[in-house]
Amino acid sequence: MPARLIDGTAIGEAMRGELQGEIRDLKRRGVTPGLAAVLVGENPASHTYVRMKGKACDEAGLYHETLRLPAETTEAELLALIERLNADHKIHGILVQLPLPKHINTQRVLHRVDPGKDVDGFHPENVGKVSIGDPTGFRPATPYGVQQLLVRSELEPTGKHAVIVGRSTIVGRPMAALLLQDGPGGNATVTVCHSRTRDIKAVTRQADILIVAIGKPEFVTGDMVKPGAVVIDVGVNRMDDPSLKKGYRLVGDVKFDEVKKVAGAITPVPGGVGPMTITMLLYNTVQAARQWARERDGEG
Ligand code: GUN
């Protein structure tokens, strides 16, 4: 029997609907959650992502600004812009789109973002909070979205063996932290594989839940998956396809046509993890605004 499709578009839309009540409450208290996206240079995929994030803010009724800077921007100029956004009361969340140009030190920039506005969850303070399960920390949007996909598809990770392929700071590592947590959406036994893992197939075949974020098109093939496993594909890769007008098509890190015959449930690309990432960015921006309003009103 082919795998059940996990529909990230539908789950993401439902979750954005659920967020509307809280956005209304905040507005009633005089707080419109605001997001600033900072984009440096001309990476076409980054421009697309930032445009989609802005559109999602508009649709949800959030305030947003996109700050587009030329590729030659110096690190000092970028740091000065972040300082300005840290002090701006209209802005509750700041997102610096990655990758940054090579002459800029990414860590230095990410560490300059006020941890209370770090809706990407990349500042060490938030990495630490997420690692110890402190709910005031911001969970990076992609792994947070994967966790929500599992919970809302009744694929609760508790007691399961979750194998993550990829150890990036944006997906693999925070994914492991979330699935390890003691609570709903967590309680998994977690293994993280990466480019140096020996006999990776022997490991991925043990997964009840296989999460793939390695950035290699169609890396996971049918023989790497245990029959009936849940497969979450975080990859977004452009593959040349001259038969299409735009000249490329999007494929994930999973060989979908092969793996869907083996898996019990699977996310498509596009329409799986992608819409959830944007949804969780909205959740994080609302969380930032809520925490800011609590502090303003002395609610602790
Ligand atoms: N580039 C790739 N993924 C992300 C992300 O989640 N946030 C930001 N800011 N940049 C990215």
Does the residue 157 lie in any domain? yes
**Ligand 1 centroid, distance to 168 Cα (angstroms):** 11
CA distance 98 to 219: 23
Task: Give the Å distances, CA to CA, from 182 to 69, 178, 240, 252, 277.
Answer: 42, 9, 43, 30, 23
Residues 206 and 252 both lie in one domain: yes
CA distance 160 to 209: 7
Residues 162 and 93 both lie in one domain: no
Does the residue 247 lie in any domain? yes
Residues 106 and 174 both lie in one domain: no
Residues 96 and 167 both lie in one domain: no
User: Residue 82 corresponds to which amino acid?
Assistant: I
**Ligand 1 centroid, distance to 123 Cα (angstroms):** 13
CA distance 280 to 230: 21
* Residue 227 domain boundaries: 141-273
Q: Work out how many domains the chain is built from and give that number.
A: 2
Residues 190 and 266 both lie in one domain: yes
Does the residue 13 lie in any domain? no
CATH code at position 79 = 3.40.50.10860
Q: Report the side by side order of strands in the sheet with 63-69.
A: 63-69, 34-40, 93-96
Is residue 201 part of the annotated active site? The answer reads: no
Residues 155 and 268 both lie in one domain: yes
* Nearest by Cα to 93 from 115, 110, 72, 111: 115
pLDDT under 70: residue ranges of the chain: 300
CA distance 179 to 144: 10
Question: Can you tell me which atom of ligand 1 is nearest the CA of 281?
Answer: 6
Upper half-sphere CA count for residue 34 (Cβ side, 13 Å): 17
What pLDDT, on the 0 to 100 scale, is given for residue 300? 67
Does the residue 278 lie in any domain? no
- The answer to whether the predicted template modeling score (pTM) of the entire model surpasses 0.85 is yes
Does the residue 300 lie in any domain? no
What pLDDT, on the 0 to 100 scale, is given for residue 299? 81
Residues 154 and 56 both lie in one domain: no
- Helix, strand or coil for residue 34? strand
Residue 228, token pair as written in the block = 């009936």
Residues 157 and 251 both lie in one domain: yes
pLDDT digit string, tens, across residues 219-260: 999 999 999 999 999 999 999 999 999 999 999 999 999 999
User: Residue 7 corresponds to which amino acid?
Assistant: D
What is the 8-class DSSP label of residue 6? P
**Ligand 1 centroid, distance to 25 Cα (angstroms):** 29
Nearest residue CA, atom 2 of ligand 1?
Answer: 98
Residues 149 and 267 both lie in one domain: yes
Lining ligand 1 with CB less than 6 A are 95-98, 120, 141-142, 170
Cis-peptide, bond into residue 270, ω within 30° of zero: yes
Does the residue 279 lie in any domain? no
Question: Can you tell me which atom of ligand 1 is nearest the CA of 142?
Answer: 6
What pLDDT, on the 0 to 100 scale, is given for residue 1? 80
Question: Can you tell me which atom of ligand 1 is nearest the CA of 96?
Answer: 9
Burial of residue 217 (CB within 10 Å: 0-12, 13-18, 19+) is middle
Residues 211 and 87 both lie in one domain: no
* Nearest by Cα to 143 from 110, 180, 89, 107: 180
Does the residue 208 lie in any domain? yes
Residues 171 and 259 both lie in one domain: yes
Residues 186 and 255 both lie in one domain: yes
Is residue 53 part of the annotated active site? The answer reads: yes
* Nearest by Cα to 97 from 43, 143, 59: 43
User: Residue 108 corresponds to which amino acid?
Assistant: R
Does the residue 36 lie in any domain? yes
CATH code at position 212 = 3.40.50.720
